Structure 1
Amino acid sequence: MTSAARTDVGTIEDLHSSATRATGLDDFGDTDYLEPLGILLESYRSEAGLTELGSKMFRFFLKGALVARLLSEASWKANPGYADVEVTRPIFVTGLPRTGTTALHRLLAADPAHQGVEMWLAEFPQPRPPRDTWSDNPVYQQIQAGFEQHHVENPEFMGLHYMDAAEVEECWQLLRQSVMSISYESLAHVPTYSQWLSRQDWTPAYLRHRKNLQLIGLNDPGKRWVLKNPSHLFALDALMAAYPDALVIQTHRPPTTLIASMCSLAEHATPGWSTTFTGAQVGRDQLELWSRGLREFSTARKRYDPAQFLDIEFTDLRSDPMGTVERVYAALDTPMTDAARAAVTALDEESQSGARKPQHRYQLSDYGLDEATVEAAFAV
């Protein structure tokens, strides 16, 4: 007799035990994350319609968040000098997904005078080791092997969002330590968690985010941070509280041209994970989420100095990437060095071919949407 397939993600105690077994650590720090974790688990159980595969994947994701939390706590204790590291005039790239945030982020991070959060360090926070040692690091090797396997098994995802252990990635990986991230509702139907999150002050999560940057950048003092995450749209006040001198770059593209792309990305990232988060439900969830995020950001932005914001059109980034990057340096009142120009040029050329070349096909009707519905949702 076979046992029934498991479709629950588990309990807080289950996840704590799993993370502790994986690391040998048990200090999770403050307890602020327990409330959102409990709400998210209940949403997964009662609303998400998870399959056995989906429940396994979300257990893996939440275990990863708790492992990262444990590692940060331990590394802060082992490296008390992190507290003295300055984070000065960081750049935050945000905007609706599929508006060029990833491309702009990676171009800016190519400057040798800049630093971003590399994927493997977001998952295993620690002071960034010298770059020439990464290939011999067992943690780096493990994460990179996982991405290489994913590339082989899911080649179509490469054109949606290229990922690599050494690549700078979205800093939601740091926010997930606090279980405050719209990444969860971007990948599953969890309306109760979504409604709870929409009412919260994200400042504690962003202060922890800052502590992680100080830790990761401990060996690279003086380098400017370049961060990117569409979810910053939902938390501008918290971002500004933690980083009052930030330059915030907002990328723009007509919503009718990108909502189907966003839905396609969500669908390709979660194949077979849910009987609920499919087709028209993906369309409804993503349209509500991102139209709300853009409205909240637009309202909050009016409370701050306009000089702290820079608007970038997707078409300008595509047609003149170097000119677009130069606008960022001008906004910072910082000269663009020859080394920065060379690095940006090289990365831009690489991004137009091979595995990084964008390849993405989708249409609104696949997700129960049409242009009129999208335009109405984004009307301000």
Structure 2
Amino acid sequence: MADIEALIRIDDLAEPRLTDAQRMAIDSVPAMTFTVAAVLDAARATTGLDAFGPDDFRERLAVWLQSFEDDTELGPLGRATVFGECVRYASTRLRAHDLMRSQPGIANIVIDRPIMVAGLPRSGTTHLVNVLAVDPRLRSTPLWETMEPIPGPDDIGDPDPRFVRTQAMWGAFEHLLPLMPAMHEMAPDHVHEDIELQGPDFSSYLPEWISRPYRWRDYYSAHDQTPHYAYAKGLMQALTSNHGPARWVVKSPPHMENLPALIAVHPTAIVPITHRDPVAVLQSAITMIAYGDRIRRKRIDLPELAAYWIDRIERLLRACVRDRDAIPASQSIDILFHEYMADQKATIARVYDLADLEMKPEADARIDRFLAANPRGRHGRVVYDLQGDFGVDIGALRERFGFYYDRFPVRREPVLGERT
């Protein structure tokens, strides 16, 4: 484990110095054919199933695939990654449809007042949801279960074979990208984003983290996401049928830009929304993406990456400002990142009060143990340079996000190279 005070400077984002393991991984993957038929045939072969349910998903899958094809800088491993994700989601769709067809009562399961955390990437959502998830009265989406929500016929045993596969996969990923845990740890048993449950319906902003899918970004922005929230709810019901409890705690950044869809599908939802300086969010998020891109892309254009995500975060925040009042005041609170970091227990208590959830001694003790075991920066602290690495004008960026600073009193965090 890295010293908690260790500073990490990644100085080769634009021109990566690849390790032998990274070169070997890039050179070892076969060529990929990006067609809907290729994805669906691979999913059928993986599962032995054939019925995908309603066919509307095929249009969205086609847009995903064309977006990946349009991204000409995706390298061999990047292409293999996005194709593999499509096959994984299609396989889950097959298994989910098969399960729900055989057990129609699943559709009647009540998802009771779910706690659905929204907030920018890198704004504390992951930490908050993992803290809340230690309470045994709440059901959550650990990484291993979101990767493969519906078990196959051979997924029997303890530990669950899906956990073992996820542990091996993410272990290999972190072997290739050893600095990733310092930016975003992905332990198999940590709670992951519930938009993974929209993946089998081929929606959400999932493709944007592993490619530059301009075509998909614009398609997604132009379509109501309510049907895909409903699809994800169906998977939550399926997961609840496997084991309870029926009260969930989940999180995803895109909830911020889909508040009307979220509350339409989950009218009793409790929605804590975390808020953080978007400049600090961006420097963290795009550095993490750029670091991962060394194995995904043939060439890394850091200014393009910055421009893509500045636009993307602006779209998300404008939707949040516009639709914030779609969530009833009795069901939502705004959580400022700097206040959460200053007093985590007080913030957690606010969420419990909002959710009408008694803080029992067992839950309180579990939370204390989690906080003690997971201090901020325990894998080291990355030094970000938004201006030096990405060519971003910090002052202009702050002006661009003025509408958000005006709406929510987030603390502006000092960044490297900024005039004070």
Equivalent residues in 2 for 1:301-320, closer than 5 Å: 301-320=324-343
Aligned mates of 1:40, 1:142 — CA distance in 2: 25
In structure 1, what is the equivalent of residue 369 of structure 2? 346
Output the CA distance in 2 between the equivalents of 1:378 and 1:178: 32
Alignment match of 1:359 (pick from 381, 404, 416): 381
- Aligned equivalent of 2:357, options 323, 326, 334: 334
* Residue matched to 1:208: 231
Deviation digits for residues 169-226 of structure 1, max 9, x if unmatched? 1112111111111121233212121111101011111111001111111244444201
In 1, distance between residues paired with 2:52 and 2:242?
A: 24
Change (3 A) 1:156 1:179: same
Aligned partners of 1:189 and 1:277 also within 8 Å: no
Shift of 1:152: 2.9
> Share of identical aligned residues, percent?
27
Q: 1:96 touches 1:230 (CA, 8 Å); kept in 2?
A: yes
The alpha carbon displacement at 1:165 in A equals 2.3
1:239 corresponds in structure 2 to 262
Question: How many Å apart are 1:8 and its aligned residue?
Answer: 5.6
Is 1:229 equivalent to 2:248 in the alignment?
A: no
**1:118 is matched with which residue: 118, 124, 142?**
142
Q: What is the distance in 1 between the residues matched to 2:386 and 2:31?
A: 30
1:295 maps onto 2:323 in alignment: no
Is the Cα contact below 8 Å between 1:9 and 1:58 reproduced in 2?
no
Secondary structure in structure 2 of the residue aligned to 1:22: helix
Change beyond 3 A, Cα 1:240–1:78: same
Distance 2:58 2:84 in 1: 17
- Identify which of 51, 54, 57 aligns with 1:30: 54
**CA-CA distance at 1:9 after TM superposition:** 5.0
**Scaled by the length of structure 2, what TM-score is found?**
0.83
Q: Indicate the larger mover: 19-28 or 366-375.
A: 366-375
3-state SS in 1 of match to 2:295 = coil
Whether the 8 Å contact between 1:352 and 1:358 is mirrored in structure 2 is no
Q: Specify which of 281, 304, 309 is matched with residue 258 of structure 1.
A: 281
How far apart, CA to CA, are the structure 2 residues paired with 1:343 and 1:35?
45
1:93 is aligned to 117
Distance verdict in 2 for CA 1:277–1:194, change over 3 Å: farther
Q: Distance in 2 between matches of 1:278 and 1:362?
A: 17
Which residue in the other structure is 2:190 paired with? Answer: 167
Unaligned runs of 5+ in 1: none
What is the CA distance between 1:53 and its match in structure 2?
1.8
Q: Kindly provide the amino acid, as one letter, of the partner of residue 63 in structure 1.
A: V
**Residue 238 to residue 331, structure 1, CA distance change in 2 (3 Å):** same
Q: CA deviation at 1:83?
A: 2.1
> 1:223, 1:242 → 2: CA distance?
16
The whole-number CA distance in structure 2 between the counterparts of 1:232 and 1:353 is 24
Equivalent pairs, count:
371
Equivalent position to 1:378, from 401, 406, 416: 401
Match of 1:269 among 292, 311, 325: 292
Contact 1:252–1:313 (8 Å) recurs in 2: yes
In structure 2, do the counterparts of structure 1 residues 335 and 139 end up closer, same or farther at CA, with 3 Å as the change threshold?
A: closer
Does 1:138 find its partner at 2:161?
yes
Query: Whole-Å Cα distance in 1 between the matches of residues 44 and 243 of structure 2?
Result: 30
Query: In the superposition, relative to structure 1, how do residues 7 and 281 fare at CA in structure 2: closer, same or farther (>3 Å)?
Result: farther
Preserved contact between residue 125 and residue 216 of structure 1 (Cα < 8 Å): yes
* Contact residue 195 and residue 252 of structure 2 kept, 8 A: yes
CA distance in 2 between counterparts of 1:109 and 1:26 reads 35
Of 142-151 and 235-244, more deviation after overlay is shown by: 142-151
SS of structure 2 residue aligned to 1:302 = helix
Match of 1:84 among 96, 101, 108: 108
- For 1:318 and 1:353, locate their aligned partners in 2 and report how far apart those are by CA, in whole Å: 9
Distance of 1:350 and 1:20 partners within structure 2:
42
2:263·2:326 contact (CA, 8 Å) conserved in 1? no
1:158 aligns with 2:181: yes
Deviation at 1:166, TM superposition (A): 2.2
Give the Cα–Cα distance (whole angstroms) in 2 for the partners of residues 48 and 293 of structure 1: 26
Change beyond 3 A, Cα 1:44–1:9: farther
Q: Say which of 30, 41, 46 aligns to 1:17.
A: 41
- State how far apart, in whole Å, the 1-side matches of 2:185 and 2:33 are: 27
| Alpha-carbon distance in structure 2 between the residues aligned to 1:126 and 1:190 | 28
Q: Is 1:54 equivalent to 2:74 in the alignment?
A: no
Q: For structure 2, list consecutive stretches of 5 or more residues without a partner in the other structure.
A: 1-28, 404-420
Distance 2:279 2:185 in 1: 23
* Normalised TM-score (structure 1): 0.91
1:6-48 Cα distance to aligned partner (Å, 9 max, x none): 7765100000011111111111111121111111211221245
Shift of 1:289: 0.3
What residue is the counterpart of 2:417 in the other structure?
none
Change (3 A) 1:141 1:38: same
Deviation for aligned residue 1:277: 5.5
Deviation at residue 66 of structure 1 after TM alignment: 0.9
User: 1:171·1:229 contact (CA, 8 Å) conserved in 2?
Assistant: yes
Letter in 1 for 2:281: L
